[in-house]
Chain A
């Protein structure tokens, strides 16, 4: 386990940003999901020691989040959500400077800065002033400064925001490559579900300051509900109503497909029984794999 928090609460004046959050971050790559304003960035800022929690306790890599913030920041890398840089510096000086601030010797920091800029694909632009970088280049630069000191844990706050599809893909590949090293852990905060789905093995879902779901993606898929996709013939109104009464969530999808999210205590044969009762033919029936989007919708919606 790389970090844990217990009963963590934080408020911005009257607005409760985090409400008694309990969480345990396992090793590997973890996705922190939640709609805008769910408290993701606040949680990361507390883990980094930028903010002191109103209530609760926690530790990151064995260091207390309230009293050992300097030690934590030595071992972690942080890629902020906003555009941030120091004007007047070129890419390599910027990265090396932040390496030095982390405690790297000057020459080592410079050498490593070149390496990580090559790694993130900024080798051609490393001598250009950072303020002239495009959005995609700034994202890469932020990633470079987050990994320059070879941290054990990297916090990535919306790492793909503002990127075009190819840039997004490349950044995700880099993140996956970094997290493939067993001794580096990555926490990705995002509201872009496919990003989390492709890069993370575990997921935590925050909604309105509360942790509504956490676990490995495969576990969550099994635990929460079963998803069936059906296509019917006949008057399906009553049939669907009865399914909903039974506790299922019903959604219409493309190509006349109906998605049925079935609670774990129900059997899929119930669908057929209801269809017989309502004189509806089922012409297509597939047990489908739930996507992270489904999990997210359920977790956030349920709360």
Chain B
């Protein structure tokens, strides 16, 4: 007898209450990102800096085998593995640029698609709360950004210990692993808020993609123009990239790249996050309510 002939049948299982009801949202977001054209290739490109820096760590421990590479003073200084090396990885322009590209792929449609296709009501008719929805969506971004920040950072640290065959590096820089974790969470958190915020302001994914990319680039171009005219590094506070670099330098105990306190940069990024929370809280509802 077919299902239709049998009529409606009950499900004999039991609904479970989990601590993390947002995990299906994250898994689904990750799956959908990988289904996008060129995403796998782009994501692989994004991993190139991590591979290069990992090779660098290996070479740094086998300098005698790679003497032809290290004869150049600049290359030799690059291969000194210290917090500066980690800082170079985490704040290099290519990585930051590729992170934004990844955000366009995996983050642009996270909320805008739900707004466009009215699917918020489907989520919120389930036993999930607003915070679960945000966590689920933010975790999609977290998944990809941790692969580019936290995981390489930890691997670099462990590989340095492994290749050197002793714990000297860990004793020399005991705080480094905390910096890696702290900075990875910071940058991931910031970009998650940044992306979700922009994704929630419009229901057109393409427009959101342009905004994610445009705001990041335009803020830096604006800094360049204003700095060129007024010769003041305080305009670096207008640039998302500059602020990230400033905070990154502070995390890894390096010289600040711009002549402004990193605290201001941190404040600028935090203000953006607070603004994002405010807007998201207003925009995301089970139903559109125009009061």
Q: Which of B3, B113, B122, B285 contacts A87 (CB 8 A)?
A: B113
Per-position 1/0 for A11-30, Cβ under 8 A of B? 01100000000000000000
Please tell me if B7 contacts chain A, counting CB pairs below 8 Å: yes
Contacts of B4 in A (CB 8 A): 118-119, 121
Given contacts A84-B118, A84-B119, A119-B3, contact A73 B11 (CB under 8 A): no
Contacts of B15 in A (CB 8 A): 74, 102-104, 149
Contacts of A100 in B (CB 8 A): 24
Task: Kindly report which residue of chain A lies nearest to residue B114, judged by CB atoms.
Answer: A86
Question: Once the chains bind, are B286 and A50 in contact (CB under 8 Å)?
Answer: yes
Please tell me if B9 contacts chain A, counting CB pairs below 8 Å: yes
A149–B13 Cα distance when bound, in Å, is 9
A105–B12 Cα distance when bound, in Å, is 12
Given contacts A70-B129, A87-B113, contact A80 B290 (CB under 8 A): no
Contacts of B25 in A (CB 8 A): 101
Per-position 1/0 for A38-52, Cβ under 8 A of B? 000000010011110
Task: Name B residues whose Cβ lies closer than 8 Å to a Cβ of A.
Answer: 2-4, 7-11, 13, 15-18, 21, 24-25, 28, 32, 35, 109, 113-114, 117-119, 121-129, 285-287, 289-291
27 interchain pairs, CB-CB under 8 A: A13-B291, A48-B286, A50-B287, A73-B125, A73-B126, A73-B127, A80-B122, A84-B119, A84-B122, A85-B122, A86-B113, A86-B119, A87-B109, A87-B113, A88-B35, A98-B126, A101-B25, A101-B126, A102-B126, A104-B11, A105-B13, A112-B11, A112-B13, A118-B4, A149-B11, A180-B8, A181-B8
| A:84-113 near B, CB below 8 Å | 84-89, 97-98, 100-106, 108, 112
Chain A nearest CB: distance from B118 CB in Å?
4
Task: Kindly report which residue of chain B lies nearest to residue A96, judged by CB atoms.
Answer: B24
Please tell me if A147 contacts chain B, counting CB pairs below 8 Å: yes
Please tell me if A78 contacts chain B, counting CB pairs below 8 Å: yes
A-B pair count, CB < 8 Å, reads: 122
Question: Once the chains bind, are B117 and A115 in contact (CB under 8 Å)?
Answer: no
Chain B nearest CB: distance from A189 CB in Å?
14
| A:165-191 near B, CB below 8 Å | 174, 177-178, 180-181, 183-184
Question: Once the chains bind, are A108 and B118 in contact (CB under 8 Å)?
Answer: no
Interface of B, helix, strand, loop or mixed by DSSP = loop
Question: Once the chains bind, are B10 and A118 in contact (CB under 8 Å)?
Answer: no
A101–B24 Cα distance when bound, in Å, is 7
Q: Which of B9, B127, B287 contacts A115 (CB 8 A)?
A: B9
Question: Once the chains bind, are B287 and A45 in contact (CB under 8 Å)?
Answer: yes
Chain B nearest CB: distance from A16 CB in Å?
12
Per-position 1/0 for A47-80, Cβ under 8 A of B? 0111100000000000000000011011011101
The 8 closest A-B pairs by CB, nearest first: A50-B286, A103-B15, A84-B118, A78-B125, A150-B11, A101-B126, A100-B24, A118-B3
A287–B176 Cα distance when bound, in Å, is 91
A107–B270 Cα distance when bound, in Å, is 41
Q: Which of A45, A74, A181 contacts B286 (CB 8 A)?
A: A45
A98–B122 Cα distance when bound, in Å, is 8
Question: Once the chains bind, are A177 and B127 in contact (CB under 8 Å)?
Answer: no
A242–B12 Cα distance when bound, in Å, is 63
Known contacts A78-B125, A87-B113, A112-B11, then 20 further A-B pairs from the complex at CB < 8 Å, ordered by chain A residue: A70-B128, A78-B121, A80-B121, A82-B121, A84-B119, A86-B114, A100-B24, A101-B25, A102-B126, A103-B18, A104-B15, A115-B3, A118-B4, A121-B4, A131-B117, A145-B122, A150-B11, A174-B8, A181-B10, A183-B10
Question: Once the chains bind, are B122 and A86 in contact (CB under 8 Å)?
Answer: yes
Q: Which of B8, B21, B122 contacts A177 (CB 8 A)?
A: B8
Q: Which of B8, B28, B121 contacts A50 (CB 8 A)?
A: B121
A131–B122 Cα distance when bound, in Å, is 15
A85–B32 Cα distance when bound, in Å, is 14
Question: Once the chains bind, are A88 and B32 in contact (CB under 8 Å)?
Answer: yes
The residue in B11, B32, B118, B289 that gathers the most chain A C-beta atoms within 10 A of its C-beta is B11
Chain B nearest CB: distance from A9 CB in Å?
14
A87–B115 Cα distance when bound, in Å, is 11
Question: Once the chains bind, are A74 and B127 in contact (CB under 8 Å)?
Answer: yes
A302–B207 Cα distance when bound, in Å, is 50
Contacts of B122 in A (CB 8 A): 80, 84-86, 98, 145
Q: Which of A50, A86, A104 contacts B117 (CB 8 A)?
A: A86
Per-position 1/0 for A243-275, Cβ under 8 A of B? 000000000000000000000000000000000
Please tell me if A83 contacts chain B, counting CB pairs below 8 Å: yes
A265–B113 Cα distance when bound, in Å, is 58
Contacts of A149 in B (CB 8 A): 11, 15
Question: Once the chains bind, are B119 and A85 in contact (CB under 8 Å)?
Answer: yes
A145–B126 Cα distance when bound, in Å, is 11
